[in-house]
């Protein structure tokens, strides 16, 4: 886990994490959230969909952004103020999602950091967005 003081954070700093999405991840996420949409849970249903197979919950992949922010940059002691997301492509079970966060601005007096947030599978962007974090 990374721990930065607000004064150590600068525009352009970046951090990444990767996570391979498993069957267990999808099932546990469904159980925790109550989202049993058959696009995520029912292979037969999902085969007949536009995705031709089950896809992971979009917010499961968005959770990888939260993990990268809290564990890497800005790191320990940060909390969300806002997050904007655009879901650009589905994530399937077995895909490895790389999450990258990049600082775009730091307001030391307000202890607020703005970051770009991107998740990719290979060269494909699956989620793009930005967020604001407060650093204690």
Question: DSSP label at 59?
Answer: H
Q: What pLDDT band is residue 73 in, cutting at 50, 70 and 90?
A: very high
- pLDDT for position 2: 81
Q: What pLDDT band is residue 136 in, cutting at 50, 70 and 90?
A: confident
pTM exceeds 0.85, yes or no: yes
How long a stretch of residues is the chain? 136
Other CB atoms within 10 Å distance of the CB of residue 13: 18
Bridge partners (DSSP) of residue 1 are: none
Domains and CATH numbers, the chain: 6-21+57-135 (3.10.129.10)
User: Of 1-5, 20-24, 47-51, which one has max mean pLDDT?
Assistant: 20-24
- pLDDT for position 8: 95
């Amino acid at each position: 886990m990374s721990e930065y003081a607000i004064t150590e954070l600068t525009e352009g700093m970046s951090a990444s994490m990767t996570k391979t999405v498993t069957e267990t991840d999808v099932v546990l996420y469904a159980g925790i959230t109550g989202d049993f949409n058959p696009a995520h849970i029912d292979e037969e249903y999902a085969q007949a969909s536009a995705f031709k197979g089950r896809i992971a919950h979009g917010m499961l992949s968005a959770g990888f952004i939260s993990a990268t922010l809290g564990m890497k940059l800005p790191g320990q002691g940060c909390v969300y103020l806002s997050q904007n997301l655009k879901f650009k492509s589905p994530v399937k079970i077995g895909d490895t999602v790389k999450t990258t966060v990049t600082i775009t601005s730091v307001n030391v007096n307000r202890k607020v950091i703005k970051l770009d947030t991107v998740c990719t599978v290979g060269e494909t962007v699956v989620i793009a967005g930005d967020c604001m974090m407060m650093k204690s």
